[in-house]
Structure 1
């Protein structure tokens, strides 16, 4: 097949995932696609054939993938999980998914988003359990362009009656899960029948003709902007004060001057510049492009947030999610256990709140269960420890797909179908249980206040990191020198102490805030004034601290500009204020609220 690009035509790229039951011929199909489009390294086909002759074994096109994998293991040529070929129309990346785990890892990771799927079924063995499971997973992950390849037609004597029976039965199954396949193609991948060359006994399109007819889904380019924040880079040398927000555009377009909003924090700004490594300057970037940008305002943005344009339909924000989930963990997914949910660049703790129903992938019957067992397909409600930004799978699959990690291993994955309103959060339930079992002192809060000359208070100083830290420590000193019982607890002290068991860097802040809230409840119960510094705290962290510290209260002071922040502090301190001025403001508020008692009865 001639694979030279058409003159004057820009090259397009499409990701295709190949799935199917074990030994139904996925690798042979991939090997044939690469060979028949002349996409193999020069001499590779001949080399593998010669090796088969030496070993007195029949040549199979599946061996091409093994040979490429051997080279990849030596650091040569190609990644065995991602095979490349090209046609006159465009370039293709084929994602081989040899099992459930690899399927989800390849499908949901940011590295590879499949736009279409080839699902392989053995004509002789027929529809198997994994044929149904993979079909359901494709549906669950929002992949709508599916071509079913009925392979090994030679084993049934090229009987099109067998092909039609498989087509009828599998099409009926797919219809029940809301999938309409593009087509069914009878093939013999070993001989190349209907891959690139049409067999005499078949009059329909070949596999390559069908692949070239698929839509590359450029609608993501014109869709709403979705830019999951991967990281933030700050430069300090040679007077370079840029803060570059980096990531990949999942959909839509970003341009210099665009007003943007980050969710779930709600912070707003405007794109100042687009940045790239060793790239010419540009003023816009589209879906699929990895890029960076600077903002007009100096905002503290965290990895995991999703940026959208103010004028676009924003992603949803919620902490309780209705999901379709496929579970592969050795242990069942159970209620009350903490898992790690990963969606785009977001990493957050989550737990199972409800199992709505569990589906049998063979016949789509449902049953009621209290847990999700291995290989179960379930509709569930998950709750994250803090709200996250996401889309629904029907709208934007790329920002609706997630994986669930249990003990540092991918144990499940799925898509979000909706947000669920909740009157009480898992955190509120936890606090209610904690308070019901709280062993209370015989010394009342009023008695302690009279002894210490102040009521207990948890003071959180947020804002610019260095300045807020200095103000928090100065406040502790000022209170202590006036004879009040005050203690400064730095978040880094928790990082190196209580959080020493937290290995995942992305989990440090989340778990640190939770443990800080629990500590605050204990220390404020002693009647003292607890002070901490939590730089650039967002409203969800503030709500979490308020909930965990209940029934005791929090006072929040913010140092620096309030631009982009969505919560109001009790005390606002200018960034250029002296430490004495800042401390004076906070002390004044404590006196106004009668936290500090200037009299003794």
Structure 2
């Protein structure tokens, strides 16, 4: 019976924060000891080791002993530690001042629901005491108890305690945190941890354990709109199994067989055919927190990083410009002139700072609107420009899909939350594309089936450069060569579009229609690619903005960009540069080589 009751206990993740040497480890050790949550004989073993080494016993040593029992190199904050009361089981997440904690919180690997903030009564409030409070505020942890530790070092002076309570409460109010309570404690002596202490007769409120048991376990966001960042799409072929399973972890809401799902930022839609799980009984629905997968009635091309939603529920934002709050913990400053990677959910994109609106020193809340960099421990409100649109929610709507981390030089160096979706240069195109994808009439023939039949992958080859450098002769030579190889290929000159599809806007009074010309060119290209063809298109001096517009309409994975000519006169990121044009057949051969290297057409051994 006792086992059954233990299994019914709920879990609560708590994080313990505080300045270095303010006694976090001692508090943790005392919580483990006072709740009888240590391995049998561990307390006595550590005390005996201290006696043999003529060292005074400290409860912090219990953490070192537990770490020694684990594999070498694994720290307590990644391994976590556990204790339990009569009400519930607790998981302690240590070291919140470290980037590991920020990473775990933002990625959902260790979602803290409550926090213990430890302040040394003797040293008083330190900079990190405030920084950690600010970080907890940013991450949305609002169940916080402040432990004024080491009261034994100040002779349990109530005036010292009251002064810290007054000063720290004032600071927390400035960052919109309302602490549950303050508790005067001594981790070393055990005062007010598990039971009230005679050393503080002036304190008659709850113990630390009683406060923790009063906290509410965070309910999973079941009642929020369905969100599932796509982890991968798994294909099966063995034994005639032709399923394509869209897999991921549901971060909010639920999904059922028959639901019409829309993927963002592409806007593609289909209907859920079945819910799939590994070694799980057959089910017709899946909900928040589950790692699951589903098949679709109509196959569509989607990739990792897209976010699955349900059609008739509120939809996420989709853009490549965001206003965000960032907490920076990197060793190097975050600067405007550097490229970083932003990871949100399962998507990873390149990101740059477009504008630093203000920088806040988290230790004193001073603001600076003239800084051009974000220093370690700074909090900044800034605008980020991403290399492509991503899907997300705002922090005040669905927190789980608004948190991100910033990667600098292969290391996570900061994290943040999205506060606002901003318009980008492709917003007007993206709206049209999402509507097009939503209304798209799908063929019974899939892209994979066409690729297998034609022995090629549909691809848009963009050949650009200055005027009169041989773009059209090269494109036509490429078309002829691939055609002779038996490929489905077509050359589309920009004039074919300008005087056909674009006839209604070509030569009108408002002769500034470059973006609309490119959008229509991209739409024609998208149809050709859906038909399985390799399409060669020429255009003069395409810029990176032009390419981004085309990528909004055409799947970026299906575009290869070639710059022809010695001088690269724009900022475009090309896949192949042919600096010298002497013969169109030779140039076409180099492009064919690129297509072979990318696996678009077969490369003989």
TM-score using structure 1 length: 0.72
Equivalent residue runs for 1:66-85 within 5 Å: 66-74=64-72, 81-85=79-83
Residue pair 1:393, 1:400 contacting (<8 A) in 2 also: yes
Contact persistence 1:357–1:379 (CA under 8 A): yes
Match of 1:441 in 2: none
Cα distance in 2 for residues equivalent to 1:84 and 1:474: 52
User: 1:150–1:187: 8 Å Cα contact kept in structure 2?
Assistant: yes
How far apart are 1:216 and its partner, in Å? 1.7
Matched, 1:126 2:151: no
Residue pair 2:225, 2:313 contacting (<8 A) in 1 also: yes
Name the residue aligned to 1:194.
192
Distance in 2 separating the partners of 1:91 and 1:4: 14
Alpha-carbon separation, structure 2, partners of 1:226 and 1:335: 32
Q: Distance in 2 between matches of 1:20 and 1:197?
A: 22
Alignment of 1:441-480 (within 5 A): 464-465=447-448, 467-468=450-451
Contact 1:4 1:87 (C-alpha < 8 Å) held by counterparts:
no
Deviations 1:421-444 (A, max 9, x none): 34589xxxxxxxxxxxxxxxxxxx
CA distance in 1, matches of 2:72, 2:372: 47
- State the match for 1:559 in structure 2: 530
- The 5-angstrom pairing of residues 245-284 of structure 1 reads 245-284=246-285
Q: Counterparts of 1:387 and 1:84 in 2: how far apart (Å)?
A: 41
- When residues 474 and 27 of structure 1 are mapped into structure 2, their CA distance, relative to the original with a 3 A threshold, is closer
- Measured in 1, the distance between the counterparts of 2:242 and 2:426 equals 43
**Matched ranges for 1:11-410 at <5 A:** 11-74=9-72, 81-97=79-95, 99-200=97-198, 201=201, 202-218=203-219, 220-367=221-368, 368-410=370-412
Count of matched residue pairs: 477
> Does the CA-based 8 Å contact 1:352-1:381 persist in structure 2?
yes
Once the two structures are TM-superposed, the CA of residue 521 in structure 1 deviates from its matched residue by 5.1
Q: Name whichever of 18-27 and 43-52 sits farther off.
A: 43-52
> d(CA) in 1 for partners of 2:192 and 2:425?
57
Superposition pairs of residues 446-525 of structure 1, within 5 angstroms: 464-465=447-448, 467-468=450-451, 520=464
Q: For 1:361-390, what per-residue CA distance to the aligned partner results, in whole angstroms no more than 9, with x for missing partners?
A: 222121121221222211111111111111
Q: Which residue of 2 aligns with 1:418?
A: 420
Residue aligned with 1:221, SS: coil
Question: What SS is found at the alignment partner of 1:84?
Answer: strand
CA deviation profile, 1:562-585 (whole Å, cap 9, x unmatched): xxxx9699xxxxxxxxxxxxxxxx
SS in 1 for 2:381: strand
Aligned to 2:471: 526
**2 CA distance for matches of 1:254 and 1:424?**
30
Distance 1:568 1:418, change over 3 A: closer
- For 2:422 and 2:74, how far apart are their aligned partners in 1? 48
Report if the CA contact (8 A) 2:77-2:93 is conserved: no
Residues 97 and 132, structure 2, Cα contact 8 Å, conserved in 1: no
Q: 1:109 deviation in Å?
A: 2.6
Contact 2:96 2:102 (C-alpha < 8 Å) held by counterparts: no
Aligned mates of 2:141, 2:470 — CA distance in 1? 54
SS state at 2:391 partner: strand
RMSD over aligned Cα atoms: 3.5
Match of 1:500 in 2: none
Distance of aligned partners of 1:271 and 1:469 in 2 relative to their CA distance in 1, 3 Å threshold = closer
How far the C-alpha of 1:18 sits from its partner, in A, is 1.3
Q: Structure 2: how far apart are the matches of 1:567 and 1:139?
A: 39
- Matched with 1:484 is none
In the aligned structure 1, how far is the partner of 2:354 from the partner of 2:303?
27
CA distance 1:294–1:379, shift in 2 (3 Å): same
CA contact (8 A) 1:113 1:398 kept: no
| 1:442-494 Cα deviation digits (max 9, x unpaired) | xxxxxxxxxxxxxxxxxxxx97146258659699xxxxxxxxxxxxxx79xxx
Moved more, 53-62 or 341-350: 53-62
Give the drift of 1:286.
2.6
2:393, 2:418 within 8 Å by CA — same for their partners in 1? yes
Give, in whole Å, the separation in 2 of the partners of 1:306 and 1:46.
52
Distance in structure 1 (CA, Å) of the matches to 2:7 and 2:101 = 33
Change (3 A) 1:334 1:150: same
TM-superposed CA distance for 1:29, in Å, is 1.6
Q: Specify whether residues 105 and 398 from structure 1 end up closer, same or farther in structure 2 by C-alpha distance, changes over 3 A only.
A: same
Q: How has the CA–CA distance of structure 1 residues 154 and 66 changed in structure 2, closer, same or farther, with 3 Å as cutoff?
A: same
Q: Answer yes or no: is the 8 Å Cα contact 1:71–1:78 preserved in 2.
A: no
Q: Deviations over 1:200-250 (max 9, x none)?
A: 322111222222221222151222222122222222212222222222222
Residue 587 (structure 2) aligns with: none
Question: Structure 1 residues 397 and 76, CA, compared in 2 at 3 Å: closer, same or farther?
Answer: closer
> Could you tell me how far apart the structure 2 residues matched to 1:393 and 1:147 are?
23
Residues 71 and 77 of structure 1 are in contact (CA less than 8 Å); yes or no, is this contact kept in structure 2?
no
CA deviation vs aligned residue, 1:296-332 (integer Å, no higher than 9, x gap): 2212222212222223222222211111112222332
| TM-score computed with the length of structure 2 as normaliser | 0.72
Shift of the alpha carbon at 1:135?
Answer: 0.8
State which drifts further: 346-355 or 242-251: 242-251
Within 1, Cα distance between the matches of 2:158 and 2:117? 18
Residues 14 and 91 in structure 1, CA contact (< 8 A), matched pair in contact too = yes
